[in-house]
Amino acid sequence: MKTYQTNEIKNIALLGNDGSGKTTLTESLLYEAGIIKRRGRITQKNTVSDYFPVEQDYGYSVFSTVFHVEWNGKKLNIIDCPGSDDFVGAAMTALNVTDTAILLLKGANGVEVGTQNHFRYTEKLGKPVIFLVNQLDDENLDYDQLLAQLTEIYGPKVVPVQYPLQTGPGFNSLIDVLLMKKYSWGPEGGEPTIEDIPEEEKEKAMAMHKALVEAAAEHDEGLMEKFFESESLTEDEMREGIRKGLASRGMFPVFCVCAGKDMGVRRLMEFLGNVVPFVDEMPKVFNTRGEEVQPDPNAPTSLFFFKTGVEPHIGEVQYFKVMSGKVHEGDDLTNQDRGSKERMSQLFCCAGATRIKVEELVAGDIGCAVKLKDVKTGNTLNGKGSENRFSFIKYPNSKYTRAIKAKNEAETEKMMSALQRMREEDPTWQVEQSKELKQILVHGQGEFHLRTLKWRLENNEKIQIEYFEPKIPYRETITKAARADYRHKKQSGGAGQFGEVHLIVEPYYEGMPAPDTYKFGNQEYRITPRSTEEVPLEWGGKLVFVNSVVGGAIDARFMPAILKGVMQRMEQGPLTGCYARDVRVIVYDGKMHPVDSNELSFMLAGRQAFAQAFREAAPKILEPIYDVEVFVPSDKLGDVMSDLQGRRAMIMGMTSENGYEKLTAKVPLKEMSNYCTSLSSLTGGRAGFIMKFASYELVPADVQQKLIKEHEADEQEA
């Protein structure tokens, strides 16, 4: 295989909703390019994409598939991404290392929630988009209506390049208004017959051609002037205008294919090879120091590893993009993240499970390597003269969590090791060993996502596991001031233990004035702070510890021990055993013994005094509240709002966005446990949502009573 130069390489992400036909399109692309000799079928489990057992068993894509095609002297690196938003990590990764997105639509379904989600990701990253309408042989497809829907949602930037002469089972021809030709196919598809446009279609085709010419001219001053003069552009000028329009997201061309019958695929590849922007025409990437890194083949070598695959009989396959310079077989490089040396003993171009050996890859190209000893997803390997590190892929927050447990406890360590390995393949799987909840938590993007994890643990790793509803990380705080004192005294031969602590607790908020005077019963307590220590708590909030002891009642050397005792008790609130937060503790008096006082005595006295005062200070439970954004079709808005209100949600606002309604709400985490499944059921899988932590807020009184009773029952059982 020849070595392609930077200006001959194009990197493309293939996106689309589940069922839009990405895997089938991949087969046709590879077949047309001669990479495979016959097209595989999903039903026969012999496709280049979806070749992992879990994908074949479930019948949907779980991992992205990296492949390439050579066409007209160009190399097209294409990453086929899973359609389900549960596997959004693959789409985000692909979009970050490619330059153009093909957004595939199942023609009869039009714009679906997956289409909307993927388009939003391209918007955030500023990536060009080509809409590709598939399955034109579906009898329920109305192409004109689909174009109207695309235009309504995405505006006048949507410009058709092709239209079918008829849709449904009889589809076999289309009009290309860029080349102004008719393309038609026999029953087997493949190479088209190219003819002049029939007389009866000329008027419609010319109108669409003019719209395309005008859209192409808009993105280049010279072309615009020529368009005004002659109202036409040459084919090359149109390509140049479309390329610039794509790169600036000034236009979204619409193409047509019937991937299952291999119709329109060859013409699509021509367009990708001739018109789509090259690597060096797209915005540059920045390293972690904020320096721009050009895809310059003459610069020092930098490779960014964006994906890890684990394949039977081979082990880890590491996929990388050459960010700058060139990499050769046998090169010795340095891992900038881990400090280790790595030899690139073999280089490959990718075609799913098939790898084609190459000797060199240049800036902008995508390849893979096997048997690397110390490379993880997200690492950068550098040659001499380069110290780049890259961290430009930002993954969405998780939105589905389950506690996980090996059925055989002896396999817990083995399970944890497997989970960490699998996270290399999909960074949106997060694994957390929660000391607070005493559970191992797995965070993911949805029920589907975690079901896949379970399948792989049980089938590939032979570890039987169980999922449980995760506990909620509640917090406890106080709502009024209270006072307590405690004397710890112990005498058992030899040196004894003695420590007495008097303290006041009160709720703390940022910027609170220094303590002054307190009144409990008929007694007034004047406070003279000698020192104040603010302790940011690792679980959120603060503890403010004030030493107000006068007259040497407690020696200053015992204050850290009292603070330690208070901190220990804050790790186990009296209501539910959860962490306490946002408390100010004022130690104002106490007693010592010249012989028996020691740090342990004051730690225990401080702990008990704090516990007593906390219980008297009207303690309340706080729950985590999340900001939730739901993207929902208009006809399902009422159902989704009612469901959210039933989850104690506070609706914050509602806006329209690209044909969908966007609901924003604040929702307790407790109520979001099964939201993925419920939302999908309510909307037929047409809605999506994102969530992120917002704050801790007081739970309602009835919920607090329920939680306290549950905790008391758990304590009795223990």
Residue 163 has pLDDT above 90, yes or no: yes
Task: Work out the number of other CB atoms within 10 angstroms of the CB of residue 409.
Answer: 9
Distance CA 706, CA 703 (A): 5
**116 pairs with which residues across the strands?**
none
Distance CA 147, CA 166 (A): 15
pLDDT the model gives residue 238: 87
Ranges of CATH 3.30.70.240 domains, the chain: 622-703
Strand 252-256 versus strand 129-134 pairing type: parallel
Q: Which two tokens stand for residue 25?
A: 């399109």
- Crossing angle for the helix pair 235-247 and 221-230, to the nearest 10 degrees: 140
Ranges of CATH 3.40.50.300 domains, the chain: 6-281
pLDDT the model gives residue 224: 80
Phi, psi of 704 (to 5 degrees): -60, -45
pLDDT the model gives residue 44: 60
**637 pairs with which residues across the strands?**
none
Local structure of 710: helix, strand or coil: helix
Class of domain 400-471: alpha beta
Q: Which two tokens stand for residue 644?
A: 């959210």
Task: Work out the number of other CB atoms within 10 angstroms of the CB of residue 21.
Answer: 24
Confidence of residue 688 (pLDDT cuts 50, 70, 90): confident
What sign does the CA torsion over 30, 31, 35, 39 have? Answer: positive
What sign does the CA torsion over 210, 212, 215, 221 have? Answer: negative
Q: Which two tokens stand for residue 145?
A: 């209506």
Task: Work out the number of other CB atoms within 10 angstroms of the CB of residue 16.
Answer: 27
Across 106-120, 170-184, 484-498, which has the greatest mean pLDDT?
170-184
Residue 619 has pLDDT above 80, yes or no: yes
**Mean predicted confidence (pLDDT) in 74-86:** 91
Across 30-34, 47-51, 525-529, 682-686, which has the greatest mean pLDDT?
525-529
Mean of all residue pLDDT scores within the chain:
91
Give the dihedral of Cα atoms 92, 93, 94, 96; nearest 10 deg: 80
Reported as a single tens digit per residue, the pLDDT across 356-400 is 999 999 999 999 999 899 999 999 999 999 999 999 999 988 989
Ranges of CATH 3.30.230.10 domains, the chain: 476-617
Distance CA 267, CA 261 (A): 14
pLDDT the model gives residue 60: 67
Contact 231, 225 (CB under 8 A): no
Reported as a single tens digit per residue, the pLDDT across 434-451 is 988 999 999 999 888 999
- Crossing angle for the helix pair 113-125 and 88-97, to the nearest 10 degrees: 40
Reported as a single tens digit per residue, the pLDDT across 549-569 is 988 899 999 999 999 999 999
Residue 49 has pLDDT above 70, yes or no: no
- Give me the percent of the chain exceeding a pLDDT of 90: 70
Burial of 225 (0-12, 13-18, 19+ CB in 10 A): exposed
Local structure of 315: helix, strand or coil: strand
Give CA separation, 421 vs 64, 309, 376, 429, in Å.
17, 10, 10, 11
The matching CATH number, chosen from 3.30.950.10, 2.60.40.10, 3.30.230.10, 3.40.50.410, for 476-617 is 3.30.230.10
Local structure of 230: helix, strand or coil: helix
**Mean predicted confidence (pLDDT) in 99-113:** 92
The C-alpha angle with vertex 254 and arms to 250 and 257, in degrees rounded to 5, equals 155
Q: Which two tokens stand for residue 13?
A: 């992400």
**Mean predicted confidence (pLDDT) in 193-202:** 95
**258 pairs with which residues across the strands?**
263
Q: Which two tokens stand for residue 545?
A: 């510890």
**Mean predicted confidence (pLDDT) in 405-425:** 93
Residue 718 has pLDDT above 80, yes or no: no
Question: What is 575-603 written as a DSSP string?
Answer: TTSPEE-SEEEEEEEEE--TTT--HHHHH
| pTM for this model (two decimals) | 0.83
Give CA separation, 126 vs 276, 378, 432, in Å.
15, 21, 33
CATH of domain 6-281: 3.40.50.300
Phi, psi of 560 (to 5 degrees): -60, -35
Local structure of 607: helix, strand or coil: helix
Q: Of 595, 564, 575, whose CA–CA distance to 501 is shortest?
A: 564
pLDDT the model gives residue 198: 95
Residue 312 has pLDDT above 80, yes or no: no
Across 19-28, 636-645, 652-661, which has the greatest mean pLDDT?
636-645
Ranges of CATH 3.30.70.870 domains, the chain: 400-471
Phi, psi of 192 (to 5 degrees): -85, 165
- Give me the percent of the chain exceeding a pLDDT of 70: 96
b/e sequence 179-217, b meaning 16+ C-beta within 10 Å? bbbbbebeeebeebeeeebeeeeeeebeebbeebbebbb
Confidence of residue 45 (pLDDT cuts 50, 70, 90): low
pLDDT the model gives residue 410: 95
Question: What is 160-227 written as a DSSP string?
Answer: ESEEES--STT--EEEETTTTEEEE--TT-SSPEEEPPPGGGHHHHHHHHHHHHHHHHTT-HHHHHHH
The C-alpha angle with vertex 120 and arms to 118 and 126, in degrees rounded to 5, equals 105
Give the H or E element holding residue 542.
Answer: strand 542-547
**Mean predicted confidence (pLDDT) in 190-199:** 94
Please measure the distance between the N-terminal and C-terminal CA atoms of the chain and give it in whole angstroms. 67
Confidence of residue 50 (pLDDT cuts 50, 70, 90): low
Q: Which fold has domain 622-703?
A: Alpha-Beta Plaits (3.30.70)
Give the H or E element holding residue 240.
Answer: helix 235-247
Higher pLDDT, 310 or 181: 181
Q: Across the beta sheet with 430-434, what order do the strands follow?
A: 430-434, 439-444, 400-406, 465-468
Residue 406 has pLDDT above 90, yes or no: yes
Contact 605, 466 (CB under 8 A): no
Contact 88, 96 (CB under 8 A): no
pLDDT the model gives residue 226: 78
**In sequence order, what are the residues at sequence separation of 6 or more whose Cβ sits closer than 8 angstroms to the Cβ of residue 206?**
none
Residue 309 has pLDDT above 90, yes or no: no
Higher pLDDT, 129 or 44: 129
What sign does the CA torsion over 280, 284, 288, 289 have? Answer: positive
Burial of 480 (0-12, 13-18, 19+ CB in 10 A): exposed
Local structure of 252: helix, strand or coil: strand
The region of weakest confidence among 123-127, 441-445, 656-660 is 656-660
Phi, psi of 312 (to 5 degrees): -60, 140
Tokens 């000028």 locate to: 237
Q: Of 58, 64, 487, whose CA–CA distance to 48 is shortest?
A: 64
pLDDT the model gives residue 617: 95
Reported as a single tens digit per residue, the pLDDT across 108-123 is 999 888 898 899 899 9
Ranges of CATH 2.40.30.10 domains, the chain: 295-382
Q: Of 424, 415, 443, 453, whose CA–CA distance to 310 is shortest?
A: 424
Distance from the Cα of residue 681 to its chain's centroid = 22
Give the H or E element holding residue 351.
Answer: strand 347-351
CATH of domain 295-382: 2.40.30.10
| Amino acid sitting at position 271 | F
